[in-house]
Amino acid sequence: MLCTDRDVPRDRSAGHPRVPRMAPLIPLMLAVMFGGCHPEGREARRELDSCQEGDAQSCNDIALRFLGGRYVLRDEARAASLFDLACEEGVAESCVRLGVMHLEGTGVDEDTAGAARLYERACDGGALEGCSRLGVLYRDSIAVPADQPRAVALFEQACDGGFAEGCAHAGYALVVGRGADRSAARAAALFEKACAGDSPLGCVGLGTLHAAGEGAALNVERAAELYEKACDADEAAGCFHLADLHEHGNGVERNFERAAELYRTACNLGSGRGCYGLAILHQNGTGVPRRVEHAASLIQRACDMGHTPACAAVTEAT
């Protein structure tokens, strides 16, 4: 049985911002829609139809599908266009997503200043992720002047609103005393809240405090559990710290093979420390075959990622 338009439920609910009809865009979108009658495919058709009718939230939803290639062919440029339309009509989430694309140069030209403006607009519109991301820009002086107190205020605004990653960033600011008085105990409370909200970054922060016994009870076993939770969520720092514990038998059974596996995962997730840790194991043949040339390539990779000890090792070798 073929799917027809009559098979697709129509949702004309009120309350969403409206955007102008986009007739010139829609035929192009329809041309890349996957066929079949899968519920997700039918939902994509419904979102597409609602977007054409002028529902800005549906434009955001279908843009997410184009960005991820979910029941449409992946098209980052088209996703950016749809996010732009929805953002202009007040969908704050769309402003965040478009800001991320401008920051990374995905589907649009890289534009860090544009990303900052979009995050601010999103934050003002109630998208707490926008507040947190804007805080990172102020913290790291990306497209805006460095302003640590402003960054912390934005992190706390996001955290207070329930955005877990904002709690994690606020926690790290308190650990190092950037933009706020240093307080490991307050940081631990923020990391706890972040980790409970499924922020891998928060779990790593809390694990680090438990491992050091700062602001939280010294409990390396608990730290290992937290690092593992973060690693399972593809947080490179969690994988690295868990690998380090396994390498040294700290809080967990000493297991060089497991350490190598975790360092490799961290490296592949973009951790220079992970690449360097794996390189040392290969240099010594600990838990993995001794492969000096491969170790050298890993050290170079770690240096390219900005890991200072690796760069020192490269310089020494030359």
pLDDT tens, N- to C-terminus, the chain (318 residues)? 334 443 433 343 444 444 444 434 544 444 344 444 678 878 888 998 899 999 999 999 999 999 999 888 899 999 999 999 999 999 999 999 999 999 999 999 999 999 999 999 999 999 999 999 999 999 999 999 999 999 999 999 999 999 999 999 999 999 999 999 999 999 999 999 999 999 999 999 999 999 999 999 999 999 999 999 999 999 999 999 999 999 999 999 999 999 999 999 999 999 999 999 999 999 999 999 999 999 999 999 999 999 999 999 999 887
List of long-range contacts for 176-181, beta carbons under 8 Å, 24+ apart = 178/139, 178/148, 178/151, 178/152, 179/139, 179/147, 179/148, 179/149, 179/150, 179/151, 179/152, 180/148, 180/149, 180/152
With tokens 């409970």, the residue in question is 196
Q: To 10 degrees, the CA torsion angle through 54, 56, 58, 64?
A: 130
> Helices (DSSP H) in the chain: which residue ranges?
26-31, 39-53, 56-68, 76-88, 92-104, 112-124, 128-140, 148-160, 164-176, 184-196, 200-212, 220-232, 236-248, 256-268, 272-284, 292-304, 308-317
178-181-185 Cα angle (round to 5): 105
